[in-house]
Every structure is written in structure tokens, then in C-alpha cells.
Amino acid sequence: MQKNDIKNLIIKLTDELNYHADLYFNYDKSEISDRDYDEKLKKLQELEQKYPEFKMQNSPTFRVGGEILSGFNSVKHEIKLLSLDNTYSKEDLIEWENKLQRIVNDKISYFCEYKLDGLSVALTYENGVFVKGATRGNGINGEDVTENLKTVRTIPLKLKKDIDIIVRGEIIMKRSVFDKINSIEKIFANPRNAAAGSLRQLNPKIVSERKLDFMPYDILKTDIDFKLHSQEYKFLSELGFKPENNAKKISNISEIIPFIEETENKRDSLDYDIDGIVIKVEEKYLWDELGFTNKAPRFAVAYKLKARQEITILKAVTLQVGRTGIITPVAELEPVNIGGVVVSRATLHNFEEIKRLGVKIGDKIFVERAGDVIPKITAVVSSSEDLFAGIIKEPKLCPVCLSLLKREEVFLKCVNSECPAKNLRKIQHFVSKAALDIEYLGEKTVEMLVSTGKIKSFSDIFKLNKNDFENIEGWKEKSVNNLIESINEKKNTSLSRVLYGLGIEGVGEFIARLITAKYTNIDEIITASSEDLENINGIGKIVSKNIVLYFNNSKNLEEIENLKKYINIIEEEKNINSLFSGLNIVITGSSDKYKRSELEGFIKKIGSTPQKSTGKSTDLLIYGEKAGSKLKKAQELGIKTISIDDFIEQGNFK
Ligand code: IVH
């Protein structure tokens, strides 16, 4: 082959591979098999090795990582990478705004961005080509991590415009990636540590496997004169970057409160960690005039969201027996305040998890609390220096009934059907919110009633009377009346609540509703065969077998007969026959008529599944106002879309 032909072949392979990578990563589509892609990539790699002079600056081979590095060189930042002052309350923000208004007379508006919890880097492009990337370091000097950054697929190797520019942004690891990586490999405490640890890897091939991401938020240097920060933010997308897409313009600080609330609500459903909001003065031409405090600019400030993770000490591990017999090791902690809530217990999930974490009693650990989720231990910070620090041993016997435990995958299980701990949990589940929802019958009360022998089974609840509470501390006439009344209120309960309340393994609220959409009374379910049950869309072999086994047990049947004497199990409202039943549905955008949770409720009610993000399995996307990239992506993927209003009208919800 002539040299020129080789050059052309390299260009062709580069373009082709970049095209397919773009389709795959940005549009979830593929027009070529993985094998063909790998073959072409290998071919390109071989050619580039032989003819390095022809290697393109946007070669996809950069993405898979090259030579192992011996270390990172220190680099001086052309423009200092400043940090931000923190604020913690609305009052702090108003004070900040007042200070700004004392300095400048112009009307100030703001651009609010999520504060991404990763690590800051500066990327230098010359003539549109990525030439250098450095960590923030101390803001003046950082480390040259260019080769590692080239593996980050959301960092364009070549911009869509041939300009000189320095872009600042955050390297993050998406939660979904973190969960996958952390389950098989070494333990990182959180996605931020994983991102930082990965970026400082000396082997760029490993960095490539860590699937890091980059989100830009600032232009440090350019010839273009942007009047507004939002224009700059938008320009970053035009260059080929993927900025975080929840940023919002507000016209004064009082509008920040709804944005903070919205952010708190969205926080758990994002695929990346955020630890605050960055509020920037939108009028970029005022930035210089506003000046600096000792270490930070005045034009921006960080509003910190409540912490999710703190460090504390593991004091002991106790064992909890669940409703299905699964033994959960529970961490007893030195109490610690996490974002305003004192946490003194956390789950350790199972004994495999204890091994994976390598945690011992006495260790300093990270504990995380997010939303309503039970706090969990995410990593060991440092091991106890005490030589006698406790190794946590796997139990052999159930801590309550002392029967031999059985191993089921990663779990240890008490299989004794008479285990008192399991029975207690079953009753607590039966009265819980999603099941019979008996107000005033909380877990502690059930525990008291079970331990004093007043209730042994579900039906015993309905036999309770005032005398049962005589001489029981803390139970005055009023509270007893409240409880008896709330029990009476549940004497008419829907079939799906009862079915869910029975606590059959694998029968969650959703599955219960799928079953009651087909069967109208409990006797039909009792006599259903496993084939009948499996025929229901969404119910698998294991669950249907569990159901049949449950109703083959004479004790269970006897209990249901007893229950029927006290409660009237009412037929389910049927609206599963919606045009949109049995689908995977994504919601995007907003509606002033329906809340997000309400729409999700409708979706579940018709036997469909709400999904968080659009992917291959998505059947339908419903969109409201201000629907953004998700709608575009769905349309590109050929997924059916419908407006929220049409969805309600055509969905037979009424
Ligand atoms: S702007 C001078 N915007 O927060 C202003 N920073 O304490 C430069 N961060 O080191 C920063 N998300 O790592 C800015 N949307 C965002 C951000 C953000 C995260 C980080 C960044 C910086 C730290 C400031």
C-alpha cells in the first residue's frame, strides 16, 4: 500500500469508529456488531503503531488507553482554578446578594447549576484539539493527567469548532458505573473517591475501564466575549461537551428556594452525586468588577445540600431475623449526625458484604444515608488498632429460635416456620402502610402485643379489645380507643393489600396488583395453578411457585379462613385494561395538573412500570412541559411518545 493510501485508511477507520462510538454512547444505538467494531479498532491500532505520523488527534484508540505511565508531571495552570465560598442557608444567600448589590449597581440575575461531587479538572484545546488536561491540585499547580482524560468518552478529543479554549469541569463516576465496579473490584467509599482514584491510575487502560465522565461548567479562557454565563454554558454543548442539564436561570435569590426543593427531590434519582448548588452571577461582564474574597470569587457561591455520608465507629454487630427468615447483620454505631439526622444503626446487608468491606468491630467506617433508604456502611476508613478488635463471625444458629441456619446465595436463612422472630415480622408487615395500613399499630406495639401473647396470628389482631390493654404502661383510654377504631376501619380491605400483607416471598405490592387484576377473590388465587399464575405478564416461575406453595400449606389456609371471619376482602378496582398496560414507561418534563408521583401511581395502577431513563426496554415516553433531551433521545430511538394530557385521556384511568 502507498503511504497515502495508508493515511486515508487511517482517516476512514477513525471516522467510522468515532461514528459508531457516538451512536452507541450518545444514542444507545448500534449499526455494527461489537466484534466488527473491535476488529476495526484493532486494525487501526496496528496501523497507528506502524505509522504513528498518521495517527489522528481524535483517534478512538486514545479511548482505550495507551502506555503505562511512570508518574504525573506537575503543571502550572495558565488560569488559576479557584474554589468557592460555601453557604448553608437562605439567609447566607441573601447576605451574599446584598453584598453584590453594594458593589455593583446593575440588576443582577443568577444561573444555578448542580454542584457535582467529583474532582475538578481544566482541559486545554488548541485549534479545537484536546492537548492537555490537569487536575485542580492546589489551584495553582495540578497534575498532568492528559492521557487518562483522553479515555473519558464525554471529553471530546476534537471540538466542533477549531478554537483555542480552556474548559473547566468535573470528572465524575456515574452511580450506575460505580455500583457495577464496586461490586466486583476494590472498595471505594463513594463515586467521588472512585473517580479520583481512577483518574490517578498510572495505567490508562484501567482508567478507560472505569468509564469516567466529564461535565463542563466554566470557560477559563477564550477569545469569544460572552455577556452572560448561560451563553457560555450553552456554547459548551455546541462544542460537543455534555453539561449537566438541570441548570436554571433565576432573576433573584428568593427564587432559589423552589430550585433547592426541586433539587432535593431529584437528588436521589440522578445517576451522579451532587453535594450542592452553585449559584453564579449570570451577567458575566460583572464578574471582574465583583472581585474576590481571600480565596474565592464573589461572582459565585456554593449552597451546600445536607451531607449524605459521615465517619463513625462500628461498636457492635447485632443480628436481625426478617419476615422470610433472612438474617441481616446490623451495625451498631457511635451515634453520628448525618445531614440533621442522628444515625446509630446501619445495615450491613449480609455476611458476604462484611467480607467484601473487610470491616471489623472497632473500625472507623463511612456511613451513608440517602432519602428514606436505610443507612448503610460503604467502606472502612481505618482499621482499629486494637489487636483484639472483633472479627465478625458468621452465625450458625438463628439468634432467636436457635435452629440451624441455611445458606441461600449470599444470605443466611432461618427456615424454621415456627420461629417467633419471623412470626413477629410477618405480623408487622401485615399491618404496615402498604398492606393493611392500620394506624396506631406500629412495630413497637405489635412487638408488645406479640410478646405478651395477645396476638399470635393475623386474625388475632381483630380479636383485640379494651381489656387486652389493662395495666399496660402507656396505654390510656384514648390511645386504646384510637387503636381499636383504626383496626375496625380496616375490616373492609382490598384483595391486593391482603395478598401483599400475607408476605409471600417475591409478592411485592406491584406483583400483588398484577395478580388481583386477574383474580377477583382470594379463593381463586388459592386454587390457581403455577401455570395460571405464570401466564400473568410480569410473574415468573419462582414467584408463582412460592404462591402455590404458600397456599398448599394447611396452616396458612386455616389462617385465611380465620381472617375471613373478621374482614371483608373486597374486590379490586379494575383498570388494568388500559391502552397503556404492561409497558415500560418513562416520564419527562412537568405538568401543572399532575405531580410526578401521581403519574407514577397511574402507571403502576394499570400494570405498567415507570422507568427512570430511556433505554432499549422503554416502550413509551410521556412528556410534559419543558421536556428536554429525554424526549429528543426517545424520538431518535424510535420510541413512541405521547403528551401527559393525551396519556391521561386515552389511558382509561377514571
Ligand atoms: S464553579 C470559581 N460550578 O466545586 C468557580 N464548581 O468549591 C469555579 N464544582 O472545585 C467553580 N460543580 O470542583 C463550579 N457547577 C459547578 C460545580 C463546581 C462542582 C466543584 C468544583 C470546585 C468546587 C468549588
Domain 584-650, CATH: 3.40.50.10190
Q: β-strand 141-143 against 364-368: which pairing, if any? A: unpaired
| Distance (Å, whole) CA 236 – CA 230 | 10
Nearest to 288 by CA among 85, 77, 106: 106
Cα-to-centroid distance, 170 and ligand 1 (Å):
8
- Count the neighbouring beta carbons within 10 Å of the beta carbon of residue 290: 17
Active site positions, annotated = 115
pLDDT at 9: 95
Cell (9 digits) for 126:
488548541
Q: What are phi and psi of 505, to 5 degrees?
A: -55, 130
Grid cell, residue 273, equals 452525586
Largest CA distance in the chain: 100
Which grid coordinates are listed for 247?
A: 441548570
By CB atoms closer than 10 A (0-12, 13-18, 19+), residue 184 is: exposed
Ligand 1 center from residue 284 Cα (angstroms): 16
The rounded percent of the chain whose pLDDT value lies above 70 is 97
Q: Which atom of ligand 1 is nearest to the CA of 113?
A: 15
Are residues 484 and 440 in contact, defined by beta-carbon separation less than 8 angstroms?
A: no
- The average pLDDT across 201-224 equals 94
Ligand 1, residue 119: give the atom nearest the CA: 13
CB atoms within 10 A of CB 295: 10
Residues with Cβ within 8 Å of residue 606, at least 6 apart in sequence: 575, 576, 578, 580, 581, 651, 652, 653
| Dist CA 192 CA 190 (whole Å) | 5
> Ligand 1: distance of its center to the CA of 278 in Å?
7
Question: Hey, whose CA ends up nearest to atom 18 of ligand 1?
Answer: 115
Q: Confidence band (pLDDT; 50, 70, 90) for 177? A: very high
Q: Give the nearest ligand 1 atom to 114 CA.
A: 15
Cα of 5 from ligand 1 centre, angstroms:
47
Q: Mean pLDDT of all residues in the chain?
A: 91
Mapping DSSP onto H, E and C, the string for 54-99 reads HCCCCCCHHHHCCCCCCCCCEEECCCCCCCCCEECCHHHHHHHHHH
Task: Calculate mean pLDDT across residues 517-526.
Answer: 91
> Considering only CA atoms, which residue is closest to atom 9 of ligand 1?
115
Report residues whose beta carbon is within 6 angstroms of any ligand 1 atom.
Answer: 82-84, 113, 115-116, 120, 136, 170, 217-218, 278, 297, 300, 302
Distance of alpha carbon 244 from alpha carbon 171, whole angstroms: 12
Environment class of residue 563 by beta-carbon count within 10 Å: exposed (0-12), middle (13-18) or buried (19+)? buried
Which of the four pLDDT bands, split at 50, 70 and 90, describes residue 574? low
**In whole angstroms, how far apart are CA 235 and each of 225, 227, 316, 323, 608?**
12, 12, 54, 55, 39
Domain boundaries, the chain: 3-64, 86-304, 309-414, 420-570, 584-650
The packing angle between helices 629-637 and 3-27, to 10°, is: 110
Which region holds residue 86: left if phi is over 0, alpha if psi is between -120 and 50, else beta?
Answer: beta
345 versus 647: the higher-pLDDT residue is 345
Q: Which three cell numbers stand for residue 595?
A: 405531580
Distance 136 CA to ligand 1 centre (A): 11
CA distances from 209 to 39, 76, 206, 401 (A): 18, 29, 5, 47
24 φψ region: left (φ > 0), alpha (ψ -120 to 50), beta (else): alpha
CATH of domain 420-570: 1.10.150.20
Dist. CA 273 → ligand 1 center (Å):
14
**43: three-class secondary structure by DSSP:** helix
pLDDT bucket at 653, cuts 50 / 70 / 90: low
Pocket test residue of 114, 115, 244 for ligand 1, highest count of atoms within 8 A of CB: 115
pTM of this structure: 0.66
Q: Look at ligand 1, atom 21, and give the residue with the nearest C-alpha.
A: 120
Q: How confident is the model at residue 187 (pLDDT cuts 50, 70, 90)?
A: low
Counting from 1 in the atom list of ligand 1, the atom nearest the Cα of 118 is: 13
Query: Domain 86-304 in CATH: superfamily?
Result: DNA ligase/mRNA capping enzyme (3.30.470.30)
> Whole-angstrom Cα distance, residue 169 to residue 243?
9
302 CA distance to ligand 1 middle (Å): 8
pLDDT per residue as tens digits for the range 458-502: 999 999 999 999 988 889 999 999 999 999 999 999 999 999 999
Sign of CA dihedral 624, 611, 513, 414: negative
Nearest CA to ligand 1 atom 4: 115
Q: Probe ligand 1: pick from 79, 81, 83, max atoms within 8 Å of CB?
A: 83
CA of residue 203 to ligand 1 center, whole Å: 27
**Calpha distance 97→91 (Å, rounded):** 10
Of ligand 1's listed atoms, the one at least distance from the Cα of 296 is: 2
H-assigned helices in 74-161: 90-103, 146-149
**Ligand 1 atom closest to 244 (CA):** 15
How far is the C-alpha of 144 from the C-alpha of 141, rounded, in Å? Answer: 10
Once rounded to an integer, what is the mean pLDDT over residues 581-589? 87
Identify the CA nearest to 129 among candidates 150, 143, 145.
150
Task: Dump pLDDT digits (tens) for 149-162.
Answer: 999 999 999 999 99
Kindly report the protein residue whose alpha carbon is nearest to atom 23 of ligand 1: 83
Residue 294 in contact with residue 85, Cβ under 8 Å?
Answer: no
- What distance in angstroms lies between residue 376's CA and the mean position of ligand 1's atoms? 28
Lowest mean pLDDT among 314-318, 326-330, 390-394, 600-604: 600-604
Q: Where are the beta strands (DSSP E) in 359-452?
A: 364-368, 376-382, 405-408, 411-414
The count of other CB atoms within 10 Å of the CB of residue 476 is: 10
Residue nearest to atom 2 of ligand 1 (CA): 82
* Whether the Cβ atoms of residue 229 and residue 111 lie closer than 8 Å to each other: yes
Give the tens place of pLDDT for each residue, 1-51: 888 999 999 999 999 999 998 888 777 788 888 899 999 999 999 999 999
Question: Which of 358, 380, 384 has its CA nearest to residue 367?
Answer: 380
Q: How many CB atoms lie within 10 A of CB 4?
A: 9
Query: Given 2.130.10.30, 1.10.10.10, 3.40.50.970, 2.40.50.140, which CATH number is that of 309-414?
Result: 2.40.50.140
Does 584-650 match 3-64 at the fold level? no
**Cα 289 from chain centroid?**
40
Q: How far is the CA of 287 from the centre of ligand 1 (A)?
A: 16
Q: Say if CB 199 and CB 279 are below 8 A apart.
A: no
Topology, domain 3-64: Helix Hairpins (1.10.287)
What is d(CA 249, CA 236) in angstroms, rounded to the nearest whole number?
Answer: 16
Ligand 1 centre and the CA of 215: distance in Å? Answer: 11
Mutate to test the pocket of ligand 1, among 218, 219, 259, 263 (most ligand atoms within 8 A of CB): 218
**Degrees (nearest 5) of the Cα angle 607, 608, 612?**
145
- Which atom of ligand 1 is least distant from the CA of 117? 19
- Protein residue closest via CA to atom 11 of ligand 1: 83
In 541-581, which ranges are E strands? Answer: 568-570
The answer to whether 18 and 60 are in contact (CB under 8 A) is yes
The three grid cell numbers given for residue 456, joined into one nine-digit string: 399470635
Tens-digit pLDDT profile for residues 41-80? 999 999 999 999 999 999 999 998 878 888 899 999 999 9
In the numeric block, which cell numbers belong to residue 650? 386515552
The whole-number average pLDDT for the span 269-298 is 92
Counting from 1 in the atom list of ligand 1, the atom nearest the Cα of 86 is: 7
Cell of 653: 384511568
Residue 387's pLDDT band (cuts 50, 70, 90): low
Which residue among 114, 140, 170, 304 has the greatest number of ligand 1 atoms within 8 angstroms of its CB, and so is best to mutate?
A: 170
SS3 helix, strand, coil % of the chain, rounded to 5?
A: 40, 25, 40
Name the grid cell of 299: 461572582
If DSSP states are collapsed to H, E and C, what string results for 288-349?
Answer: HHHCECCCCECCEEEEECCCCEEEEEEEEEEEEECCCCEEEEEEEEEEEEECCEEEEEEECC
14, 58 contact by CB (below 8 A):
yes
Cell output for 475: 396505654
Give the ligand 1 atom nearest the CA of 247.
15
Measured CA distances, 351 to 52, 247, 417, 588 (Å): 52, 42, 23, 39
Q: How far apart are CA 464 and CA 189, in angstroms?
A: 48
